[in-house]
A and B are shown apart, each in its own frame.
Chain A
Amino acid sequence: MKSPAVRIRGSGAVTPYGAGVQSLWQGIEEGRPAVSPFSGFENEGLPQLVVGKVPDAVDRLQAFNGLGRDGNRAAFLAGIAIEEALRTANLSPGDLEGPGVALFLSTTKGPISAVERFCLHRKRSGDECMVTPSDLAGLLARTLNISGTVQAVSSACASGAVAIALAADHLSSGRCDRALVVGVDILSAFIVTGFLALKALSSKPARPFDVDRDGLNPGEASAAIILDVTDENSGPFVKGWGLSNDAHHITGPDRHGSGLAHAIRAALNDADTTPDRIGALVAHGTGTVFNDAMEMRAIEAVFSPTIPPVCGIKGAVGHSFGAAGLVEAALAVEMLRRRKVPNTLGHGRCEEEGFRFRGAPLEQDRILSSNSGFGGVNAAVVIGKDDSWPL
């Protein structure tokens, strides 16, 4: 199944390195993890944790059209990323107005603060109207005056890649002319308590695919990409996508990796490309024992005998859940621009042979980014460019 190419016109991100895709790239290049000890949940009885938190300096920035001025952190972070995406796309806010523009929001818990407040006080706080991901998507759409399709996507940690897939689908079928895909999740006691209960957190910076990995670092981030369809040969493009389900367990991945392999093959087929044309893999790489083992199984199944260089960023910025797939897509664009695969921070030694996690030149013009999540969901997106890009 082949889909028309969909152009990534602009991208933006806010990560624990700060605002901007460039700050993300520079931090990783400098080998400087942005995860750090955090005691901000002491009031909730939580211990000090290693997390990926957006630095306080970002709080002093102005988000698009005052988003988040009311204290809505998810909206605020999303607004900052949207600003950068507009700037890099060389578009004005007015170019996102109207019925021809769609918005897809990727988030796992969205405005979770409302639930936290309700559970703490057992009553609704005043004019609480920001409760569901749908509410957050509506707020972003109203702020940007978007009147096409607006949807919040909930596919756990694969939400970002799924949102890109839905947007690409809309564009290639002509249901919209332009799509804004935004991913955001904030650091919250709700999420941290849960992962602590699951014993999935590491007390140290996460070590994706490392033989001594022992858990993930929860984090927050936002990212935004602007997509459209064009006849021009200026990339980069979303070339194809694939989704699957392990049908195995609601939290534990299928250890054979067959579900993720299925999604990857579907994405390659959709992109009309083959494993040997993939220059790098941007992996999910949470740093947990089972996820990373599953991913390596899947990668081996699809790409053996020659596995492309693999890059994972969750050792650098933590796991930002619903934002992760969008941050990684923005990184993939940067990799294509610079023709380089960055290091996987936190990785030292792999128990499997054939894998490369060190920085390397990008020798092909296609990158495959994949994510997996609770509920057994797997998503893979192929992002590529043509020779004429960057101009």
Chain B
Amino acid sequence: MRWGEGTWANRTSISSFSGELVFTTGMVGYTETLTDPSYAGQIIIFSYPLIGNYGVPVASREGFPNVGFESRKIQAAGAIVGWASPDHSHWSAQTGLMEWMDAQGVGLLGGVDTRALIQWMRERRRRERASVLGLVQNADLEKPLTHFRDPGEEIIWPQVSVQQAQYLAASDPHAPTVALIDCGVKWNIIRQLQARGVALWILPWDTDFAEWFKVHPEVQGLLLSNGPGDPERAGPLIRNIRGFLREGRALQFPILGICLGHQILSLAAGARTERMDYGHRSHNQPVFQVDHGQIASTRGWLTSQNHGYGVLESSLESGWSVWFKNANDHSVEGVRHDEQPWRSVQFHPEAAGGPRDTAWILEEFIRDVKGFTRGGRP
């Protein structure tokens, strides 16, 4: 199929790029989305046709460092849009979308019937039970690209994780410390935790946490971050967490997994993940809480989501329960341990972009962290 010959065909100077095709139906938040490391290696198709209207914000606004960005650079392999705004109008804007992408060396293709492309891709993914790979190239180029990049085949985490452990102090010297395993963490997770007054250790994705924990006894909680890729390929990470879960049973040590972190925690606990037919790619996914297999209440929440793999309910080991489910397709949206403060969610309680309705999950995690004392149950 050929795309992008529409009247609004415009593109950045980088005109050839390849990656897994994914989409998002979020209508705002394109800078957050493009810089979200979960999209590393992926080409994002924006279903909302007008992208770039409010430009790209200044990197550091006083009091709001890096708001609008989820990592230090554009992580996506490229973007496909209906219409990329040639100008922008916003008080916070420093530059335009196209200029920004050019400067970062990431390609954008405009003028595409993104609705039709998403429909085609969605059905193909379901039919073939496989990721759909995309290759965008400039037809005038003498040597066209031939290689379809598949980030799902890659051990992608080294590209998005910190290389060395970093410590982020809290303003209060007595604040508890949380370790965060960075599989491609969104900055808003860090911002949200910092805003709640904790100090942070940001650890490389393949840190042997059980060992590290022994030399950092001050740490009172663990957060497994979001990130890109097929979780089943994150072998070292899964093994490390599995080891820690085994050793940490006596501790009642708080763990929270988000998105990929949720999948990693589930895999470490013996569950399986699988590629979903459609995935969830929007800011409007409804979830509800489950208690002993029943709908826990008449309450539901809207969440921001971006994932193509999911945890299989039937594969959960005993001792673990489904915590949240998706109200549309009833897929697993969160799991929790029946006795330990180990929890994880498939969605993004930190939002950015998208609704912030489940920020209470971060609150609860911090409450657990603050209540944690070495030596297990008081």
The answer to whether A binds B is no
